[in-house]
Structure 1
Amino acid sequence: MKLQVINPNASVSMTAMLEAECRPLCAPGTELEVICLPDSVASIEGSSDGAVAAFHLMQAIRRGEAQGVDGYVIACFDDTGLEAARELASGPVLGIGEAAMHAASMLSARYSVLTTLPRSIHILERNARSYGVDRRCAGIHAANIPVLSLESDPESYSTLRTLGLALLEKDQSECLVMGCAGMAKWAKALQKDLNVPVIDGVQVALKWVESLVSLGLGTSKYLSYAPPRQK
């Protein structure tokens, strides 16, 4: 099978990090491509960034379909363009936010999300309600770290660890969700330090897409995600 992990921003370095985290997880026979969108925004921080990125994401999905891609992961925790991508793709499309929050609901009675900037909180709250996983979400919190600073600021990990400990106690939650694809490289270390499951949605979504494709399952085209009408 052929899978794509699409980073819908333009960061080459973040994309390289995602590839390093994802490639070892693939089963034998899975062909993985991890791409970014060079003409997109530098990072996705808010709804206007998301709208621009979604446009470029649609072009990437169309190219992927022409190349025979069997399934996709959208590596932005806002799940940028997810609904539209499902209309265009013949195979399954998973957003890392939806995948991570569902996984957290399976692993704990209450989970917390730690994202980058406060402006993302209302987007993630809205998504959680839409996915039906908000009842187990004890809180969505921001670290006040811009997306691109996750790579450049040497104190980023220490900040996430300190905040993670504090909000787990505050929320009385049992699982921590990394609320940005740029945090993927720290999930294992945080899980060891915090002693609770720490979920990176990129890796969860990749393994779930791989499983769905192997089972011959794809997005329903019956109504909501039918291909766009020809006009």
Structure 2
Amino acid sequence: MKILVVNPNTTRSMTGKIAAAARAVAWPGTEIIAVNPDMGPVSIEGYYDEAFCVPGLIEEVRKGADGGAEGFIIACFDDPGLDAARSITTAPVIGIAEAAMHTAALVGRSFSVVGTPARAVATIEHLALRYGFERHCRGVCAAEFSVLALEDPKSDAIRLLKSDIRRVVSEGRPDSIILGCAGIAGLSKALSHEFDLPVIDGVIEAVKLTESLAGLGLGTSKANSYAPPLPKPYTGIFARHALLGSGEA
């Protein structure tokens, strides 16, 4: 099974960290290919960054579909471009926020999200509402560090993250903690042990969900919502994104 993990930002060191976390939990027969676009923001922190990451993300999904990928993971906690990506492939496409929230609802009645950039808090709250988990969500904690600080071993990002977890566990008493950024991938096991409750990493959960769906032969429905885009010309710098044939990657 071949799964394409797309980091929608252009920071390759983060892509490498995400790839390592994904490969650590993948089945022996699963090939994890991790990529990032060569255009777009270096990190995704808010609506503006999210808008400009989507064209590069969709291009990577299209190339992955042409390369025989059997599942796709969008490795950004905003789940940017999720619906658009599902519209151009019959394979399963999983966003890491969606995967994390579903998993949290299976292991407890409540969760809190930590590590989310301040500008993305409203996005994550909206996703909890969209996915039907608003009653489970005890809150989204705005991180006091930037996404790129997670790539700097000299930064205080991990110390600040742990401080936020400690405070949220004490004040909100959630059943689990969700790590609200793909840049924190790979730390959930150690943090679960340290804080004695499930700490959920959406990258890891998305790998297992994608493997399960692909293994069951379940893909993205083309019946209605995710039917292929209508063939039509696109103009200007988006001309290459037009679907002029069957309408499906």
TM interval, short-chain normalised: over 0.9
User: Cα distance, 1:20 vs. partner?
Assistant: 1.3
User: Cα distance, 1:115 vs. partner?
Assistant: 2.6
User: Cα distance, 1:140 vs. partner?
Assistant: 0.6
Match of residue 225 from structure 2: 224
2:185 is paired with a residue of what secondary structure? helix
Match of residue 91 from structure 1: 91
1:135 is paired with a residue of what secondary structure? coil
1:50-199 correspondence to structure 2 within 5 Å: 50-152=50-152, 153-199=154-200
2:212 is paired with a residue of what secondary structure? helix
1:141 is paired with a residue of what secondary structure? strand
User: Cα distance, 1:103 vs. partner?
Assistant: 0.6
Query: 1:213, 1:164 → 2: CA distance?
Result: 34
Counterpart AA for 2:189: K
Matched-pair contact (CA < 8 Å) for 1:157–1:186? no
User: Cα distance, 1:176 vs. partner?
Assistant: 0.3
Number of positions where the alignment pairs a residue of Structure 1 with one of Structure 2: 231
Match of residue 39 from structure 2: 39
Counterpart AA for 1:223: N
Counterpart AA for 1:227: P
For residues 126-181 of structure 1, give each alpha carbon's deviation from its aligned partner in whole angstroms, at most 9, with x where no partner exists. 11100001110011111221100012144222211111011112112110000000
Query: 1:223, 1:173 → 2: CA distance?
Result: 37
More helix by share: 1
User: Cα distance, 1:12 vs. partner?
Assistant: 0.7
Query: 1:25, 1:167 → 2: CA distance?
Result: 27
Question: What is the TM-score normalised by the length of structure 1?
Answer: 0.97
Query: 1:25, 1:189 → 2: CA distance?
Result: 15
Counterpart AA for 1:100: A
Question: What is the TM-score normalised by the length of structure 2?
Answer: 0.90
Match of residue 48 from structure 1: 48
1:21 is paired with a residue of what secondary structure? helix
User: Cα distance, 1:77 vs. partner?
Assistant: 0.2
User: Cα distance, 1:230 vs. partner?
Assistant: 1.5
Query: 2:84, 2:115 → 1: CA distance?
Result: 24
User: Cα distance, 1:39 vs. partner?
Assistant: 1.3
Query: 2:110, 2:26 → 1: CA distance?
Result: 29
User: Cα distance, 1:40 vs. partner?
Assistant: 1.9
Counterpart AA for 1:204: E
User: Cα distance, 1:90 vs. partner?
Assistant: 1.5
1:32 is paired with a residue of what secondary structure? strand
Cα distance change, pair 189–28 in 1 and its aligned pair in 2 (3 A): closer
Query: 1:210, 1:43 → 2: CA distance?
Result: 27
Query: 2:155, 2:52 → 1: CA distance?
Result: 29
Matched-pair contact (CA < 8 Å) for 1:99–1:204? yes
Q: CA RMSD in A?
A: 1.1
Match of residue 10 from structure 1: 10
User: Cα distance, 1:6 vs. partner?
Assistant: 0.5
Q: Which 5+ residue runs of structure 1 have no aligned equivalent?
A: none
Match of residue 209 from structure 2: 208
Q: Which 5+ residue runs of structure 2 have no aligned equivalent?
A: 233-249
Query: Rg: which structure is higher?
Result: 2
Instruction: Using the TM superposition, name which of 59-68 and 69-78 deviates more.
Output: 59-68
1:19 is paired with a residue of what secondary structure? helix
User: Cα distance, 1:56 vs. partner?
Assistant: 0.8
Q: Which runs of 4+ in 1 moved over 4 A?
A: none
User: Cα distance, 1:123 vs. partner?
Assistant: 0.5
Identity score, percent: 42
